Amino acid sequence: MPAFTATAPAKIILFGEHAVVYGRPAIAVPVTSLQARAIVRPEPRAPHGQVRLVAAAIGLDALMEELNPDHPLRRVVELTARELGAAYLPACQINIQSTIPVASGLGSGAAVSVAVIRALAAYLGKSLPDEVVSTLAYEVEKIYHGTPSGVDNTVIALRRAVYFLRGQAIQPLRVGRPFTLLIADSGIPSPTATTVSEVRAGWQQNPAFYEQRFDQIADIVQQARLLIENGQPEQLGDLMNRNQILLQEVGVSSPELERLIATACQAGAAGAKLSGGGRGGNIIALVDEWSAATVSESLWKAGAQGIILTTVQ
Query: Which residue of the chain is nearest ligand MEV when measured via CB?
Result: 149
- Do 292 and 180 form a contact (C-beta atoms < 8 A)? yes
CA distance linking residue 38 with residue 101, whole number of Å: 16
Active-site choice (61, 70, 130, 152): 152
Please state the closest distance from residue 3 (CB atom) to ligand MEV, in A: 31
Q: Where are the alpha helices (DSSP H) in 25-100?
A: 72-83
Query: Residue 21 or 121: which CB sits closer to ligand MEV?
Result: 21
> Which residues, numbered 150-209, are part of the site for ligand MEV (CB under 6 A)?
151-152, 192, 196
List the beta strands (DSSP E) in the chain. Answer: 4-15, 26-42, 51-55, 60-63, 92-98, 162-164, 171-172, 179-185, 271-275, 282-287, 306-312
- In the residue annotation, 215 being an active-site residue is answered as no
Which part of the chain contacts ligand MEV (CB under 6 A), choosing from 18-26, 66-74, 114-122, 168-176?
18-26
Nearer to ligand MEV, 84 or 193 (CB): 193
Tell me if 21 contacts ligand MEV by CB under 6 A.
Answer: yes
The interface with ligand MEV within residues 261-290 (CB under 6 A) comprises 276-277
Q: Are strands 271-275 and 282-287 parallel, antiparallel or unpaired?
A: antiparallel
Using rule CB under 6 A, residue 233 touches ligand MEV: no
User: Which part of the chain contacts ligand MEV (CB under 6 A), choosing from 14-22, 68-76, 237-245, 299-307?
Assistant: 14-22
User: Catalytic residue positions?
Assistant: 152
Binding site for ligand MEV (CB under 6 A): 13, 17-18, 20-21, 105, 148-149, 151-152, 192, 196, 276-277
